[in-house]
Structure 1
């Protein structure tokens, strides 16, 4: 048992002393004395279990304090703060891990229960301000979530501090808040930076009337003025709005202002920090080669000045300065190039002697990445590989810290975007190394995989983790889905602790019988040999990976002897990438403009065929296909980033332009977000559909939204099933859907014949549009809980569809993923249903026509059921085969074929007549009619 565990064990005895104030106080004093003796020579880490116990203890302490007299509670709260502060000092003065901060935060949160705003406003505000500082540097729980907590704490403090009352404290907290917005990951980055600048400017305005440095007040709050200038300089340096060069000059001006107060003799530490900041500003100053050379020399001079101070005062700041020096030397044009690279490597290595991956994981990863860049520039590829690999390992460890909190997908996505360049560099480096050692081709594919759709991979890989003996299985399933859903919604500050408490209580019970169980765990990345095992004979995978320099196309086949099995093809230069980016920009901009404009929608549709043909050329699809064995009849596409939202299955491959990938691969063309997700989906049971659950035209009451052909669609689809449940029109309420007992069905599919929409700004708010719940109750609380008829992606994560085998989203925009993201997080409606339990999802890539969609989906199910008649269980890829055949049938449909088909359908004479006269035979070969849907998953 570690020392900190012993301390916490002693403190937990307090929980047995409810109502006994003297005993509680004595136990705290004894532990403090014990702590004073041991802190200097102990360095132990707390594990997840201990942190959970700490939260349980904190809850008990709050219950104790609620039952005590105010003076007794105040006395104990002060002792807890003393204890917490001592722990904090220990964490600063040693190599302790970030876990010790959990004790500090817990102590402050407990103290806030005693020192409330009404009775102790100043103490309460001080605690909030200090908590904000602790949250700002906290790792556990996710950096983005902690920054939000910090912002909330600083804003709370500012309810007491004003520029008229406790103005110095107000200014410090304003600056703390502004600096926190500088690093905020949520919401719009540009707006966050504007908020930071506004907060700092507010200090300058309220305290100093925006006057320049003046002797009149140089001795009054001059340090706050200098600190504010330093903060605002950092914000200008990161600012995205206005002219970049102008912002850099404003930053330099602000830093120079700060240096009027900070001198090397009077405020040495602050002087060094400001030199580090101004060095960064010089490094970003780019106004022509001559000025750039001078700016880099000035930055190196500033960094060296700061470094000489920090080496004796602050190891952490010294390491930061060394890292900055590395960047400067790597960009330096003056002098010997190799000497500059060597100095860059030396500076990174020096920084890494201070940083360790436990206490400073982010900084350590950044420095390892910079070291990799330096080695790669020097041509030392093996050393660069080791550095990038180390950086990636820590990035993935940081992902593991983001296990609880609101907006979890967004937080992980932001981290993935920040780390994206490391993965890109590693993939390109592996391809470079493979020129002499072919085994690195496999490593290139593996590292590309490790950066793709990781959120969904982690969710699917951990959802079936249970304790030994499968104890508490139902409780775990319920909590997993509830947490997955709630964390993707805007949780209130009351809901989040309740979920955390429920999770802690369940884990405490489980760990009594299985102390090794964790709610989540690190997921091992898929290996190249495992990827090969996914590919059966006559099957090929085309996997794209986009870097800042090129498009890389990997080809993996089931033929172990095939040449493309070992060597992926890099088909696109930077020029080709420029063409692709331009193509995608035009495609998505015109589509987005067409969503609510009939004229632009017509234009988008008319250009779709030409655009798809152009995309095929940019991706060199004919050449790629020439490298796939002729006997391959099944194709699995694994897109990257914005390619997820494109109809790649419709790419033409012949000069005639009338044949696409669907024609070439009769065994099916399907999609998977990544190879590892494909692997996870294939572990689920084979397809064997018995029951249908359908949503039918929920918007029927609205003349503008009524889907005329969806009624016919569901009528014919259900005729293929012996057992079905249909929620028709107003019965298809969101509430009815959510409350349905999914465990009452087995081997079933869900068919949505409704409206859908992709939310470009907030992808988690993308939704299927069901019927609204009519509110009859007058109770206010019930009204607030009324369902709005929008089944959002966040809510879909809360469904438990473990017996579902197929979800068909016969609606608009159901397969569009976030195409603006720099990372490759697969955030779209299919991701929610894959997590909910369905191994197969059929979804659309644009706004679809009601009539053509109805025909397509009816034929799709007809194909599936026909395949099932021929075999008790459907083969892998059956969904893709059935969908692809339906798409080709629809594309090539004629009046004669339609008449023959309708003979076998349960249609009335009137229905046949109407279909024959309204079907768009003259347009049906246009891809916007037949190519919108894709098969995702198994």
Structure 2
């Protein structure tokens, strides 16, 4: 019976539309009289009746009827009475049915109009998930834009652009930075048609909508964006006057009020008063009877203004805020207007919180979270979840705090997944790290150490995890063409940088020996010159574009967080423990994870600022500025750190029956040689425990899951690539003899140790030993470099899909600073150590500072001797460090000096022969000729190498005279192992 009534009403409506083609508003009396029939069932009946009628109608009649249906849909969409949610559903139904007849091929302009209206209606839709509605809106608008060009249909094209401003401005999914910029681009495009003079109403609409975008824009200066928003609204009001456009005037007044409330410039108290005044102006038009939803929205705005009001009595303002919210909630029911209802609950909670009515506030926040879920409204969910967490945290309700922070973190991770650029992903995580910190502390306070360590894991090294997962997809070498092109461009810029570096080095009489394995070396904190800096910036842009195409960043692949059980499965032996460090604002926590238990060691009052200041200023600062002072202060700084970390208490209380530690440092602790931390009289942490490092448990899991390669290890060596490290060649020779490494797997000197040869070698061996110069770039870790004969291999190159080496078991970087970096706040430690793990290696040995050439050569030889005897990596590192520490000058003199001296003498002889040969050739050319200059450069190179070898012989003599020349941790503690044992 009810459906029959609706069918009759539909017939009457179509007749009214046909009778009022010249005056569409003539249909409104009929709509007002029957508004109770405009419900979702009406939409269903409308679809059934119209689709049946159109299927039997002639093409000409169908076209006229479909156009009439589209017109009726527009009238119902704009109808201000009845249920707005139902009205929009009916309009969507009508447009969808009409667009099946009004196809682009037959009626292009009308089809585009239907797509535009569908886009417009979906972004206003109340039913369904708002995030999905906005995606549908964008889909329809982009469909229309694909076939509607500015030249043929300028006004329609501009109207689509105008609607894109709103759809992108309110979009929930995707990258929020990108959405706002796309909205601004669409607005600027629309204003090329809708100018103030030619189309003032359209121009005013765009100005209003751009104001909404600038108010919440992330990119750029927040204060300036708000000023732009206010300017846009004021521009809109110059057209949208109360006399000519009362509804639009009220809408813009409400928006202006919101901008003034958030304004950062000007007098804060006056800004709130301006916000209140603008809201009250809006209420002159937005009455509860005529515009109930808008009236309610203004009351929410007023409530927020009163909450932040500075003038007037505070308690009175808060009462006004509560009253305004309660008024709004008379209209904004959870069923009809879920988002607005939830927003009112959130804001009402804020008022109760201000009044110290904590239970009422918590109740409101809980209510809001029923609608503001992590996937439906991540931004709002983050705000409410965090506020709920903080509120409960402050009263010691740890369980409630955990509930609040839990949904907030899910919202952060949802937003991070939707971000399309790597840098934006990092920003989202960095902006929310305090939520993770509070969550971890709440879990600790609630005696839930398992949850605490799981959230520690979720907060760290996410960028590295993304990179490993991404690059593992290309382990078979299949790389999409578009990424291949970016990789080629990336490598081309790197070659330009290499050329520029060569020219810079030549013109500045550059000494390559100071790049590494030399006490004078220090990490770089900027590019060599502006040309290189600009090229690096170009490389970074290509990196970002390449990463945007990545399946992980595109959201096609997601990495599930680890729970405690899966973390514990990474521990092979009951005598091994994971030590996961986590520094908060106040304390440093060390989680001790064993196969079947987890405990906690807390260093109170060792918060972020204290620890970072201690390490970055005293440790790293001295290393960069004065290495002699740093070396002198080394033992004192290490002892101090062992004391503040309460290492002896940690060992006594938590590490009984443990002999291996897997360390996961946090922030500045990545720079610390834990093996050298003193735990007793001349006893170091490395004496008691085997030690290895990983950036996170998730990365350790990736290493564990990599397939086992052949048991027959194939070795490769890259040695003395710039021919100025005398002991590197000796080191390579000892390894080659020990493992019978053929010459074609030894890249010796500048001619053989080229970038391309290195790349080829690393693809066919399971163990690579690199002994040459390297340097860390603390200002830009991706530009840290391994220096080879004809150029560099940068850390960023190793992190691209083209450097996939899943067959690599071991990488030994016998170079300077290959494990040194300053971490970002998100704790992504970008070093050559982590880069080789990303590239496929299971284990990497690297260095935390610029190491000594002779000490490094001896350490390497000791390490491989122990490995050759069947020892595992960690045992071999510890034994090699111990051998180097206890090596006496007497032993050095009797056992090693003869071999080393003989080797250096031979090298000096070869170098002198080459120097004399090139001198002779040089002198055969006229002094002013290019050939003379080229030969002279070669002559200077060999002359310098000769002096270096001579200096190495003198240093050997000095070391031989000392009782234990390498006992200082500077010589042995830099070497660390990351990955598997």
TM-score (norm 2): 0.67
What secondary structure sits across from 2:345 in the alignment?
helix
Alignment of 1:277-288 (within 5 A): none
Distance 2:428 2:671 in 1: 22
Give how far 1:305 is off.
1.4
What secondary structure sits across from 2:221 in the alignment?
helix
Does 2:376 match 1:359? yes
Distance 2:358 2:70 in 1: 50
Deviates more, 1:154-163 or 1:111-120: 154-163
Does 2:116 match 1:81? yes
Distance 2:196 2:789 in 1: 51
Distance 1:814 1:113 in 2: 51
Other-structure match for 1:512: none
Other-structure match for 2:931: none
Answer whether contact 1:814 1:829 (CA < 8 A) is retained. Answer: yes
Answer whether contact 1:443 1:528 (CA < 8 A) is retained. Answer: no
RMSD between superposed Cα atoms in Å: 5.3
Query: How many residues were matched structurally?
Result: 790
Other-structure match for 1:417: 430
Other-structure match for 2:442: 429
Other-structure match for 1:258: 278
Answer whether contact 1:765 1:794 (CA < 8 A) is retained. Answer: no
Distance 2:757 2:800 in 1: 14
- When residues 319 and 789 of structure 1 are mapped into structure 2, their CA distance, relative to the original with a 3 A threshold, is same
Does 2:691 match 1:663? no
Q: Deviations over 1:220-266 (max 9, x none)?
A: 996697467446446545x9xxxxxx775475355346346433654
- When residues 697 and 270 of structure 1 are mapped into structure 2, their CA distance, relative to the original with a 3 A threshold, is farther
Distance 2:202 2:708 in 1: 64
Answer whether contact 1:539 1:632 (CA < 8 A) is retained. Answer: yes
Other-structure match for 1:858: 857
Other-structure match for 2:353: 330
Alignment of 1:289-688 (within 5 A): 298=317, 301-302=320-321, 304-306=323-325, 308-309=327-328, 311-313=330-332, 314-333=337-356, 340-402=357-419, 405-407=420-422, 410-434=423-447, 440-457=448-465, 460=468, 475=478, 490=541, 519-528=556-565, 530-531=567-568, 534=571, 536-557=573-594, 565-569=597-601, 571-573=602-604, 575-577=605-607, 581-585=609-613, 587-589=615-617, 600=626, 602-654=628-680, 656=681, 658-665=682-689, 668-685=690-707
Answer whether contact 1:121 1:160 (CA < 8 A) is retained. Answer: yes
Other-structure match for 1:703: none
Other-structure match for 1:48: none
Answer whether contact 2:666 2:827 (CA < 8 A) is retained. Answer: yes
Give how far 1:802 is off.
0.8
Answer whether contact 1:406 1:490 (CA < 8 A) is retained. Answer: no
- Name structure 1 gaps, 5 residues minimum: 1-20, 44-63, 240-245, 334-339, 435-439, 467-471, 505-517, 701-705, 774-787
What secondary structure sits across from 2:352 in the alignment?
helix
- When residues 393 and 856 of structure 1 are mapped into structure 2, their CA distance, relative to the original with a 3 A threshold, is farther
Answer whether contact 1:128 1:156 (CA < 8 A) is retained. Answer: yes
Does 2:713 match 1:690? yes
- When residues 819 and 476 of structure 1 are mapped into structure 2, their CA distance, relative to the original with a 3 A threshold, is closer
Give how far 1:591 is off.
6.9
Other-structure match for 1:108: 141
Answer whether contact 2:581 2:589 (CA < 8 A) is retained. Answer: yes
What secondary structure sits across from 2:599 in the alignment?
coil
Answer whether contact 1:696 1:714 (CA < 8 A) is retained. Answer: yes
Other-structure match for 1:93: 126
Distance 1:462 1:301 in 2: 54
Other-structure match for 2:905: 909
Distance 1:594 1:916 in 2: 29
Distance 1:132 1:446 in 2: 40
Other-structure match for 2:766: 747
Distance 1:172 1:207 in 2: 7
Other-structure match for 1:13: none
Answer whether contact 1:771 1:789 (CA < 8 A) is retained. Answer: no
Larger radius of gyration: 2
Other-structure match for 2:811: 807
Other-structure match for 1:46: none
What secondary structure sits across from 1:576 in the alignment?
coil
Does 2:771 match 1:729? no
Distance 1:863 1:892 in 2: 12
Q: Deviations over 1:273-321 (max 9, x none)?
A: 67756766776799xxxx9x96587356436414522552554233223
What secondary structure sits across from 1:567 in the alignment?
strand
Other-structure match for 2:55: none
What secondary structure sits across from 1:804 in the alignment?
coil
Distance 1:30 1:689 in 2: 79
Other-structure match for 1:192: 221
Distance 2:892 2:372 in 1: 70
- When residues 150 and 736 of structure 1 are mapped into structure 2, their CA distance, relative to the original with a 3 A threshold, is farther
Answer whether contact 1:453 1:824 (CA < 8 A) is retained. Answer: yes
Give how far 1:662 is off.
1.8
- When residues 247 and 604 of structure 1 are mapped into structure 2, their CA distance, relative to the original with a 3 A threshold, is farther
- When residues 692 and 343 of structure 1 are mapped into structure 2, their CA distance, relative to the original with a 3 A threshold, is same
- When residues 475 and 697 of structure 1 are mapped into structure 2, their CA distance, relative to the original with a 3 A threshold, is same
Distance 1:478 1:902 in 2: 55
Answer whether contact 1:605 1:928 (CA < 8 A) is retained. Answer: yes
Q: Deviations over 1:732-772 (max 9, x none)?
A: 6656666x4865x1423363733333353x55555555677
Answer whether contact 2:726 2:952 (CA < 8 A) is retained. Answer: no
Distance 2:215 2:726 in 1: 51
Answer whether contact 2:138 2:164 (CA < 8 A) is retained. Answer: yes
Distance 2:302 2:731 in 1: 66
Distance 1:252 1:805 in 2: 64
Answer whether contact 1:843 1:935 (CA < 8 A) is retained. Answer: yes
Answer whether contact 1:326 1:347 (CA < 8 A) is retained. Answer: yes
Q: Deviations over 1:678-717 (max 9, x none)?
A: 23322335686834455556677xxxxx777666665655
Answer whether contact 1:117 1:124 (CA < 8 A) is retained. Answer: yes
More helix by share: 2
Does 2:827 match 1:792? no
Distance 2:846 2:808 in 1: 16
Answer whether contact 2:226 2:262 (CA < 8 A) is retained. Answer: yes
- When residues 140 and 459 of structure 1 are mapped into structure 2, their CA distance, relative to the original with a 3 A threshold, is farther
Distance 1:42 1:642 in 2: 55
Other-structure match for 1:931: 973
Answer whether contact 1:710 1:754 (CA < 8 A) is retained. Answer: no
- When residues 123 and 32 of structure 1 are mapped into structure 2, their CA distance, relative to the original with a 3 A threshold, is closer
- When residues 671 and 394 of structure 1 are mapped into structure 2, their CA distance, relative to the original with a 3 A threshold, is same
Distance 1:285 1:614 in 2: 50
Distance 1:285 1:378 in 2: 26
